[in-house]
């Protein structure tokens, strides 16, 4: 018994147990990926290099990615409810599971299967060649049936995921007409909203854009940020404004500083600050 097996077992069993206890589906998916990669290495020690590659490519690569896609579609925080719909079901399930495990382990410990023959002889012509020989001779019918199964699964997934379109697809012209209608009825602006942070010192999304008169444009930051209260506060913004004014006065020297003497007007956007330089 190699040390690899015991090391990997020490990874696999806690990771698999973790799937039972973690709240979030994403964590369960990551733990399952760890289990699968460790199993792939065990396959390698069992002289199955083809299954090692397939385990990593198909299971960890394709199937786990599919799981993660669905977790993202369904919602990352769709966690388990702890309410029991059947009374005592959780307790009974654990009892039955532990009894099953004990039964299996005792059964495995009782039998003796002799020493491992090893695959040196079977793999002598190459593992993949040996598998292909079996696959296309003894198991060729099974192989064909598998093809039918895969096609059925692909068609089934498409049918299940397909949604009939009940209304015509919106075209560019209809969307433009809708926008004009919204403007005339509710006053929604025709043009896109201003982008945040077009101020000389910040271009972060939490910094509102400044209007020409120096006041922050509230609609330039995302509503989500405003609701969370993570928008840059007005005092901090005011400090920035005075700071920029000071640097402008330093750079421009006397005449420009005199020209931008009125502090409130000079606190405007970048366009204002460029003009004196062009003039000077």
Partner 1 sequence: MNDVNAYIGLSAVLFTIGAIGVLTRRNAIVVFMCVELMLNACNLALVAFAHQHGNLDGQVAAFFVMVVAAAEVVVGLAIIMTIFRTRRSASVDDASLLKY
Q: Which of residues 169-228 bind partner 1 (CB under 8 A)?
A: none
Burial of 206 (0-12, 13-18, 19+ CB in 10 A): middle
Compute the least distance from the CB of residue 170 to partner 1, in Å.
21
Cα separation, 144 vs 117, whole angstroms: 31
How many CA atoms does the CB half-sphere of 196 hold within 13 Å?
17
Query: Residues binding partner 1: what is the number (CB under 8 A)?
Result: 85
List, as one string, the DSSP characters of 88-156.
THHHHHHHHHHHHHHHHHHHHHH--------STTTTTT-HHHHHHHHHTTTTHHHHHHHHHHHHHHHHH
Candidate list 7, 140, 154, 190; residue touching partner 1; CB under 8 A: 154
Where does residue 222 fall: left (phi above 0), alpha (psi -120 to 50 degrees), or beta otherwise?
Answer: beta
Q: Which stretch binds partner 1 (CB under 8 A): 143-151, 208-216, 232-240, 270-278?
A: 143-151
Compute the least distance from the CB of residue 223 to partner 1, in Å.
23
Distances (CA, A) of 122 to 51, 113, 222: 15, 19, 64
Q: Which stretch binds partner 1 (CB under 8 A): 6-14, 214-222, 243-251, 257-265?
A: 6-14
Shorter beta-carbon distance to partner 1: residue 123 or 275: 123
With a CB cutoff of 8 Å and minimum separation 6, the contacts of 106 are none
DSSP 8-state assignment for residue 261: -
| 37 belongs to the binding site for partner 1 (CB under 8 A) | no
Residues pairing with 209 in the sheet = 217
| 7 belongs to the binding site for partner 1 (CB under 8 A) | no
Footprint of partner 1 on 48-77 (CB under 8 A): 48, 50-51, 54-55, 58-59, 62-63, 66-67, 70-71, 73-75
Footprint of partner 1 on 100-139 (CB under 8 A): 100-101, 104-105, 108-109, 111-119, 121-123, 127, 130-131, 134-135, 138-139
Compute the least distance from the CB of residue 165 to partner 1, in Å.
15
Q: Which stretch binds partner 1 (CB under 8 A): 23-31, 185-193, 227-235, 243-251?
A: 23-31
């Amino acid at each position: 018994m190699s040390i690899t097996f015991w090391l990997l077992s020490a990874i696999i069993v806690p990771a698999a147990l973790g799937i039972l206890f973690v709240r979030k589906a994403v964590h369960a998916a990551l733990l399952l990926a760890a289990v699968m990669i460790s199993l792939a290495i065990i396959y390698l020690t069992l002289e199955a290099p083809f299954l090692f590659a397939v385990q990593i490519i198909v299971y960890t690569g394709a199937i786990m990615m599919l799981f993660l896609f669905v977790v993202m579609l369904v919602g990352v925080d769709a966690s388990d409810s702890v309410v029991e719909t059947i009374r005592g079901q959780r307790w009974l399930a654990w009892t039955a599971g532990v009894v099953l495990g004990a039964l299996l382990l005792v059964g495995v410990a009782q039998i003796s299967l002799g020493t491992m023959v090893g695959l040196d002889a079977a793999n002598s012509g190459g593992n993949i060649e040996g598998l292909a020989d079996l696959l296309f001779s003894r198991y060729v019918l099974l192989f064909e049936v598998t093809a039918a199964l895969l096609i059925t699964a692909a068609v089934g997934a498409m049918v299940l995921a397909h949604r009939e379109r009940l209304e015509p697809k919106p075209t560019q012209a209809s969307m433009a007409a809708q926008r004009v209608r919204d403007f005339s009825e509710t006053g929604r602006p025709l043009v896109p909203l201003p982008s945040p942070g077009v101020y000389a010192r910040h271009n972060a999304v939490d910094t509102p854009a400044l209007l020409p008169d120096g006041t922050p444009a509230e609609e330039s930051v995302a509503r989500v940020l405003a609701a969370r209260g993570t928008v840059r506060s007005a005092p901090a913004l005011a400090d920035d404004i005075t700071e920029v004014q000071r640097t402008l006065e330093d750079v421009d020297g006397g005449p420009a500083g005199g020209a931008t003497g009125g502090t409130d007007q000079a606190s405007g956007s970048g366009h204002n600050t460029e003009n004196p330089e062009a003039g000077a």
